[in-house]
Amino acid sequence: MKQVTVISGKGGTGKTSFVAAFANLSGASVVADCDVDAANLHLILGPVAQRAEPEAFKSGYGAVLDPDRCRGCGQCARACRFGALRIDERGKAGLNPLLCEGCGVCVDVCPRNALTLVEKTAGELFVSETRFGPLVHGRLGIGQSASGKLVAQVRARARELAGDEGRQLILVDGSPGLGCPVIASLSGVDAAVIVSEPTVAGLHDLERVLRLCSHFGVKPFVVVNKWDLNPEMAERLEKVGRSHGAEVLGRVGFTRVFTEAMIHGRTVVEYAPESAVASELRAVWQKLAEAVQV
Ligand code: SF4
Ligand code: SF4
């Protein structure tokens, strides 16, 4: 089983459209949407059914208040360093769960045992059926920050599915940026496809992502999207990629077909199979499939 993560260093490079096209072209992959802060691959892949009930994603702890036990002494509010507890106009403690960091101090100081610490549900994990095979995706709850942990859970579920169904490829839509969720998307994969844009910021992002790949020992591949907006910079990106040991998979020109396909809930290769961009994506996929042997 091979695992390939598509990353970009930042959002808006077309990364998700690339993953959707690869899922379409590979025909037999499990897709893991690890952009858990803003998962959107399902908008293109259009899940037709949930394979099972959503799984709760547990992470960290939070305080729970039993108002019937509270006598309004205010000790918890004075002790909470995160401003999550206040004494309200009725003289009772009120808890704002979005501010609670789960430190447990209030539980220790409450003389009435009105506060307890429980494991928090920080999001949900879904396994859906799409026209290209299973899609595993997560949704982080509002104000929750354990996205790296949720990414790890999404990937673990994708591996389990691929093993059960004998699928040879896991395609991972990585998170934008360089933080914890990206590291969780990259660790242990066979290859990283970096979708880059020919801008100064794109060059900077590419260098940072290449360093990240090198740190984690992941073989990098580079694709320049919208290359024709700045051909000199596109060349520079490819040169920088090669100097870091990356293989250049190809270039894709600027086109509105990406947006139109997304609006219609289709991959670019489905929506406009005869277009130049569809042939460019097929060529990129061909090269990648040969390189990772899938
Ligand atoms: S667990 Fe900590 S952060 Fe949460 S309400 Fe209690 S004291 Fe405040
Ligand atoms: S410490 Fe306990 S009893 Fe006192 S205000 Fe807080 S919850 Fe109520």
Residues 127 and 237 occupy one common structural domain: yes
Final residue belonging to a domain, choices 45, 79, 113: 113
Which atom of ligand 2 sits closest to the CA of residue 71? 3
Over residues 35-61, the pLDDT tens digits come to: 877 778 888 998 877 777 888 998 889
Matching residue, tokens 């996205």: 147
d(CA 285, CA 90): 64
Ligand 2 centroid – CA 116 distance (Å)? 11
pTM for the complete prediction? 0.86
Over residues 18-39, the pLDDT tens digits come to: 999 999 999 879 999 998 777 7
Task: Please state, rounded to an integer, the average pLDDT across all residues of the chain.
Answer: 92
Residues 6+ apart with CB under 8 A from 210: 194, 220, 240, 241, 244, 246
CATH of the domain at 171: 3.40.50.300
Residues 75 and 193 occupy one common structural domain: no
Number of domains forming the structure of the chain: 2
Instruction: Quickly state the pLDDT bin for 95 (edges 50, 70, 90).
Output: very high
CA quadruple 14, 256, 283, 289: dihedral sign? positive
Helical packing angle, 231-243 and 200-216, nearest 10° = 20
Which atom of ligand 2 sits closest to the CA of residue 109? 1
Res 176: pLDDT: 76
- Burial class from Cβ neighbours inside 10 Å (0-12, 13-18, 19+) for residue 261 reads buried
Closest residue by Cα to atom 2, ligand 2, is 110
d(CA 127, CA 226): 32
Q: Which of 105, 107, 113, 145 to mutate to test the pocket of ligand 1 (most atoms within 8 A of CB)?
A: 105
Res 141: pLDDT: 83
Q: Among 150-159, 177-186, 190-199, whose mean pLDDT is lowest?
A: 177-186
Parent domain of 230: 2-57+123-292
CATH of the domain at 100: 3.30.70.20
Ligand 2 centroid – CA 64 distance (Å)? 12
| One-letter amino acid for residue 24 of the chain | N
Within a domain: 118: no
Res 66: pLDDT: 97
Q: Among 125-134, 160-169, 178-187, 278-287, whose mean pLDDT is lowest?
A: 178-187
Q: How many C-alpha atoms does 19 have within 13 Å on its Cβ side?
A: 33
Does ligand 1 have an atom closer than 6 angstroms to the CB of 105?
Answer: yes
Closest ligand relative to 83 C-alpha = 1
Residues 86 and 158 occupy one common structural domain: no
Within a domain: 75: yes
Residues 128 and 213 occupy one common structural domain: yes
Does ligand 1 have an atom closer than 6 angstroms to the CB of 63?
Answer: yes
Res 294: pLDDT: 83
Instruction: Quickly state the pLDDT bin for 79 (edges 50, 70, 90).
Output: very high
| One-letter amino acid for residue 13 of the chain | T
Res 50: pLDDT: 78
Instruction: Quickly state the pLDDT bin for 144 (edges 50, 70, 90).
Output: confident
Q: Which of 61, 106, 117 to mutate to test the pocket of ligand 1 (most atoms within 8 A of CB)?
A: 106
Which is more confidently placed, 110 or 141? 110
Closest ligand relative to 93 C-alpha = 2
Res 140: pLDDT: 85
Final residue belonging to a domain, choices 113, 148, 180: 113
Mean pLDDT, range 118-141, rounded to an integer: 91
Q: Residue 177 in 3-state DSSP?
A: coil
d(CA 247, CA 263): 32
CA quadruple 19, 24, 30, 31: dihedral sign? positive
Residues 269 and 222 occupy one common structural domain: yes
Res 242: pLDDT: 97
